[in-house]
């Protein structure tokens, strides 16, 4: 059996996960890295979020070499949390335990692959997964939305919540119904315009409008996070072009009039 130092220097391809575990263990051990030694589950939360989003960004950009790097950064977070747990008696689990639990769960929740269950399509797989999950967690008699999307950003949680209730038939019969609801919510937002920004009804009605718009994305098979990210990127491209056009006129963004801004914006839209 290799020592930790030998494993850290190991280049055998099939042992690189073991090597990563050994590296993480060394960083946390006495005489290791002071920063790594100071970290806790809680202090690492921002890192886990940041690395996940950077991984997503690489996927959207189809930057596969960068994705390889970012997946490594996400794996580092898993290794780090597992190492912390292994050091703590009350937690007392290792990366091996995490992997074992994951494998067991994947086998249990895919009885159509590892057992004799039959499903017709992806929707059937998802419904089966949800039913097995609820049974495993003994929540069959608890609220259907219990813990649904807990911890997700609000936009993604809306998508997950509405997707789940749609599985039990709580949904509009067609797209037109959602459009009508969006118009209704838009009218209700307009009714709040005379109110001060601090009035709670302003936030409430804007939230309802966003919630309903996410429903339309879901019905059209579009991830709202992806759609909004694309809209952000498009806006950024157009505004960068607007800025160039403004500067070409000898102006700055601060000195340009609203009319000059609008004219440059229309030109930018034609280019992008």
The three-point CA angle 69-72-75 to 5° equals 160
Q: Is residue 213 part of a domain?
A: yes
Of the pLDDT bands very low, low, confident and very high (cuts 50, 70, 90), residue 21 is: very high
Of 120, 230, 222, which Cα lies nearest the Cα of 175? 222
Are 80 and 49 members of one domain? yes
Q: What are the DSSP E strand ranges found in the chain?
A: none
pLDDT at 92: 87
Are 214 and 233 members of one domain? no
Q: Is residue 108 part of a domain?
A: no
For tokens 């390889």, what's the residue? 68
Quick one: CA dihedral 116, 122, 123, 127, positive or negative? Answer: positive
Quote the tokens at residue 89. Answer: 């008696």
268 contact partners, CB below 8 Å, separation of at least 6: 238, 239, 241, 242, 245
Q: Is residue 23 part of a domain?
A: yes
Task: Tell me how crowded residue 144 is: count the other CB atoms within 10 A of its CB.
Answer: 14
Which of 46-50, 87-91, 137-141 shows the lowest per-residue confidence on average (mean pLDDT)? 137-141
Are 215 and 267 members of one domain? no
Are 164 and 148 in contact by the 8 Å Cβ rule? The answer is yes
pLDDT digits (tens, 9 = 90+) for 23-37: 999 999 999 999 999
Domains identified in the chain, total number: 3
Which of 22-36, 128-142, 151-165, 172-186 shows the lowest per-residue confidence on average (mean pLDDT)? 128-142
Q: Is residue 126 part of a domain?
A: no
Are 262 and 208 members of one domain? no
As a whole number of angstroms, the distance between CA 123 and CA 79 comes to 33
180 phi and psi angles, rounded to 5 deg: -60, -40
pLDDT digits (tens, 9 = 90+) for 34-63: 999 999 999 999 899 899 989 988 998 899
Are 262 and 193 members of one domain? no
Are 16 and 89 members of one domain? yes
Q: Is residue 61 part of a domain?
A: yes
pLDDT at 237: 96
80 phi and psi angles, rounded to 5 deg: -65, -50
Are 118 and 129 in contact by the 8 Å Cβ rule? The answer is no
Q: Is residue 114 part of a domain?
A: no
CATH of the domain at 77: 1.10.287.1080
33 contact partners, CB below 8 Å, separation of at least 6: 27
**CB-based burial label for 115 (10 Å; 0-12, 13-18, 19+):** exposed
Are 11 and 82 members of one domain? yes
Q: Compute the average pLDDT of residues 253-269.
A: 96
Are 165 and 84 members of one domain? no
Calculate what percentage of the chain has a pLDDT beyond 70.
99
Are 14 and 91 members of one domain? yes
Of 222, 244, 263, which marks where a domain is finished?
222
Note down the domain range covering 251: 226-271
Of the pLDDT bands very low, low, confident and very high (cuts 50, 70, 90), residue 134 is: confident
Please give the model's pTM, rounded to 2 decimal places. Answer: 0.68
Q: Is residue 121 part of a domain?
A: no
Which of 49-63, 96-110, 123-137 shows the lowest per-residue confidence on average (mean pLDDT)? 123-137
Are 234 and 217 members of one domain? no
Quote the tokens at residue 62. Answer: 């189809």
Q: Compute the average pLDDT of residues 80-90.
A: 93
Are 8 and 89 members of one domain? yes
Are 88 and 12 members of one domain? yes
């Amino acid at each position: 059996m290799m020592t930790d130092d030998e494993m850290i220097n190991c280049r055998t391809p099939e042992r690189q996960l073991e090597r990563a575990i050994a590296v993480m263990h060394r960083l946390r051990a006495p005489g290791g890295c002071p920063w790594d030694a100071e970290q806790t589950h809680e202090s690492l939360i921002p890192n886990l979020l940041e690395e996940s989003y950077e991984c997503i960004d690489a996927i959207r950009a189809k930057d596969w070499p960068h994705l390889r790097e970012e997946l490594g950064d996400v794996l580092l977070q898993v290794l780090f949390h597992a190492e912390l747990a292994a050091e703590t008696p009350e937690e007392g689990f290792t990366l091996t335990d995490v992997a074992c639990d994951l494998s067991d769960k994947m086998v249990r929740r895919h009885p159509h692959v590892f057992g004799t269950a039959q499903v017709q399509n992806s929707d059937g797989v998802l419904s089966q997964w949800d039913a097995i999950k609820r049974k495993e967690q003994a929540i069959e008699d608890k609220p259907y939305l219990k813990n649904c999307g807990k911890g997700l950003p609000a936009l993604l949680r809306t998508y997950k919540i509405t997707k789940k209730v749609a599985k039990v038939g709580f949904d509009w019969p067609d797209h037109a119904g959602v459009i009508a609801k969006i118009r209704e919510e838009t009218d209700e937002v307009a009714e709040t315009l005379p109110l001060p920004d601090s009035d709670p009804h302003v936030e409430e009605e804007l939230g309802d409008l966003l919630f309903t718009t996410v429903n339309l994305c879901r019905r059209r098979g579009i991830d709202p996070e992806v759609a909004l990210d694309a809209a952000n990127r498009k806006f950024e491209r157009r505004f960068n072009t607007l800025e160039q056009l403004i500067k070409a006129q000898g102006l700055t963004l601060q000195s340009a009039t609203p009319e000059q801004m609008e004219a440059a914006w229309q030109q930018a839209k034609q280019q992008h």
